[in-house]
Amino acid sequence: MRRMFVGIGTVLLLAGGAPALWAQSFPTTDPVLKAIWDEGMDRSQVYPLAQTLMDSLGPRLTGAPALKAASDWVVSMYGKWGIAARQENYGTWKGWRRGLSHVDLIAPRERSLEGGVLAMSVGTNGKPVEGDVVTLPEVADSAAFAAWLKTIKGKYVLISFPQPTCRPDGPWEDYAAGPANPFGRFFGGGAPRTAFSRMAAERATADSAWRARIAASGFNANALRDVIAAAGAAGIVTSEWPQGYGTVRIFDARTDKAPVYWLSCEDYGLVGRLAERRQGPRLRADATSQYTGEVANINTVGEIKGTALPNEYVLLSAHFDSWDGGSGATDNGTGTVIMMEAMRILKAVYPNPKRTILAGHWNSEEQGLNGSSAFAADHPDIVAGLQALFNQDNGTGRISSISTLGLVGATEAMGRWFGQLPAELTRTIHLDLPGSPSSGGTDHASFICSGAPAVGLGSDGWDYFTYTWHTNRDTFDKIAIENVQYNATLVAMLAYLAANDPERVDRERRVITGVNRRTGEPNAWPACREPARTYNR
């Protein structure tokens, strides 16, 4: 125990001492940049902001009460820092409260399973529901499937492919070779890789056969849920594995006719094998989730008013909503904290900017960029007056790429700002200038579509898509706090440079050439999308 506490103390000492040392050597003649560095490195609030947002307030599903509570907290924090903040209503959404849920295997043996209801699922009215388990059948056609539907009343139906192994491919390649060639993954070749290759081939065949089961039903994967629910199933069970230890993708139920549950890859496989081999699996599940009527759709906006050019804007952008399988930590709690911390730093050291600096914490990004596209549609004056938008939305890694998203005119400005940043922040950043416009994926698309100068800030991977993107493991502990501290400091510097620049950013667009391989149509600058202002399932 004594050795453990000494180790922790050493780590905390290093973490606290290093920023001060770096700050002393910060090379700049701009006193505001130096002050931003000092504030961001020596007096960072990233840890308490992130811990409160992810642990105490939790995930921020569109339509859930937690999103409104978290928005209230953001407004309150801005108020404590002397920053004006507001909630902007742009529509309504179907309200839903998750509550608690449990899924247990009660036969042929007892086991509490890792799982729960998917977002927007109906509940069980406070009562546990027991039922046998079946999988999608192998049928010849839709008529045979319709006949099968008559047999599933009161049963739990597994609709996802049951993975034959929940061990990622990397370890298979490392170790399936056996002692004859323990380094087969790295040096390749021959018989030692046979076990992995055979497993992969068998898995591909089984996956293809499962897809054939779905196709034979006559319904796509989404419509299948409504059909099974209408047939009286006790519940629908899914599992989408991102190929990482212990992770599962968690989205929404996509039906309101029956409870829809997720299970971890391992537990789903267990139940699936029992069902396929007719060993009598039986589940007991309960969910207290419920619909709560229509609720307001809100964006949360912070503002530091400009002095000389108040109708020109620098906009710090990150979506605020999340899925709720974990805590919404790296998607996009980290982006939220980056923009909050950047605003705090700016208010502390640059309280009277030349241009107005806004922070946009967007709702309903996960349902199609609805919050940011509604803001752009509702504030054409801000879009017209935009000097620069900086958007971040892909995890806890340090910012490693910056793109002006197809704006040739913005390249010169970005080069000018970038050249004033410290090497400690820029040494690992790749500039993609002018880059290409984005038609979706994250919120800068809501602004670049109209040619407004939006900048994409991409981060190092940190196994984002395997372990945290929309998974049950997207929790506070996955955040690399120092990276977020760096990123917030970088964003604050970019915002200051853009706000203080004597020149307006030019909006000249690059020429889009070529043909879309999917549609055969000529490529073009992406069109702005119409936001969904009501629940649109």
Beta-sheet pairing, 156-158 with 235-238: parallel
At 270-298, the pLDDT tens digits run: 999 999 999 999 999 999 999 999 999 99
Whether 134 and 254 share a structural domain = yes
The values of phi and psi at residue 372, to 5°, are -70, -40
* pLDDT for the residue 15: 35
pLDDT at 126: 83
Angle at the Cα of 438 from the Cα atoms of 436 and 443, rounded to 5 degrees: 135
Q: Note whether residue 23 is domain-resident.
A: no
Looking at the domain assignment, is residue 531 inside a domain?
Answer: no
pLDDT of residue 445: 97
Residues 171 and 260 in one domain: yes
**Mapped to the 3 state alphabet, what secondary structure does 282-302 carry?**
EEEEEECCEEEEEEEEEEEEE
Beta-carbon neighbour count of residue 310 at 10 Å? Answer: 13
Residue 24 inside a domain? The answer is no
For 237, the token pair is: 């069970």
What is the pLDDT at residue 414?
97
In a domain, 26, yes or no: no
Tokens 């993954």 locate to: 185
* Claim to verify: residue 221 and residue 368 sit in the same structural domain: no
pLDDT at 517: 86
Q: Is residue 519 part of a domain?
A: no
Residue-range definition of the domain harbouring residue 367: 34-96+293-500
Burial (CB count within 10 angstroms: exposed 0-12, middle 13-18, buried 19+), residue 487: buried
Q: Indicate the pTM of the whole model.
A: 0.92
* pLDDT for res 536: 80
User: Tell me, what's the pLDDT at 24?
Assistant: 44
Do 315 and 458 have their domain in common?
yes
The domain total for the chain is: 2
Q: Among 246, 273, 288, identify where a domain stops.
A: 288
For residue 312, which phi and psi values (nearest 5 degrees)? -115, 150
CA atoms within 13 A on the CB side of 484: 30
pLDDT value of residue 9: 32
Q: Are residues 134 and 269 in the same domain?
A: yes
Please check whether residue 83 lies inside any domain of the structure. Answer: yes
- Do you find a cis peptide bond into 332, omega within 30 degrees of 0? yes
Give the whole-angstrom CA distance, residue 505 versus residue 502: 10
Residues 253 and 356 in one domain: no
pLDDT for residue 178: 62
The answer to whether residues 251 and 385 belong to one domain is no
Residue at 508 is within a domain: no
Give the tens place of pLDDT for each residue, 191-246. 446 889 999 999 999 999 999 999 999 999 889 999 999 999 999 999 999 999 99
Within a domain: residue 418?
yes
What distance in Å separates the CA atoms of residue 352 and residue 309, rounded to the nearest whole number?
Answer: 11
| pLDDT tens figures, 421-476 | 999 999 999 999 999 998 899 999 999 999 999 999 999 999 999 999 999 999 99
Q: Pick the last residue of a domain from 261, 288, 315.
A: 288
Which segments in the chain show pLDDT lower than 50?
1-25, 185, 189-192
- What distance in Å separates the CA atoms of residue 253 and residue 171, rounded to the nearest whole number? 32
Q: Measure the CA–CA gap between 409 and 337, rounded to whole angstroms.
A: 30
Residue finishing a domain among 288, 319, 353 = 288
194 and 166 in a common domain:
yes
Residues whose CB falls within 8 Å of the CB of residue 10, separated by 6 or more in sequence, listed in order:
none
| CB 395 within 8 Å of CB 330 | yes
Q: Are residues 303 and 281 in the same domain?
A: no
Which pLDDT score, from 0 to 100, does residue 194 have? 83
Does residue 210 sit in the same domain as residue 306?
no
> Is-cis flag, bond preceding 434, omega within 30?
yes
Same domain as 470, residue 326: yes
456: domain CATH number? 3.40.630.10
The CATH number of the domain where 192 resides is what?
3.50.30.30
Question: Looking at the structure, do residues 275 and 141 belong to the same domain, yes or no?
Answer: yes
Q: What is the CA angle 165-253-151, rounded to 5? A: 75
